Amino acid sequence: MPITPQVLDELMKDYKTPEDMLGNNGLLQQLTKALIERALEGEMTHHLGYPPHDTAGERLRQLTQR
């Protein structure tokens, strides 16, 4: 999915200064954090074979702890 100018406009509408975009809690850091967390969650789901908070995962943990 391409990142359209409209998506960028929506993301940037509340940011006025370079610090707002690039600072410690700026848009770039927030986007980077969200993308990395999403990718890692997908990796864990793939590795474990079930999504977070799935009851199948809880049953599997219970079986392997015996």
Q: Who's near 29: CB < 8 A, 6+ residues apart?
A: 22, 23
Phi-psi region of 49 (alpha: psi -120 to 50; beta: other; left: phi over 0): left
According to DSSP, residue 1 is labeled -
By percentage, how much of the chain surpasses pLDDT 70?
A: 86
Q: What is the CA radius of gyration of the chain?
A: 18
Q: Which two tokens stand for residue 63?
A: 């079986």
Question: What pLDDT score was predicted for residue 1?
Answer: 77
Mean pLDDT of 45-59: 72
Mean pLDDT of 16-36: 93
Q: Is the pLDDT of residue 28 over 90?
A: yes
Mean pLDDT of 37-41: 88
Question: What pLDDT score was predicted for residue 52?
Answer: 74
CA distance 39 to 42: 5
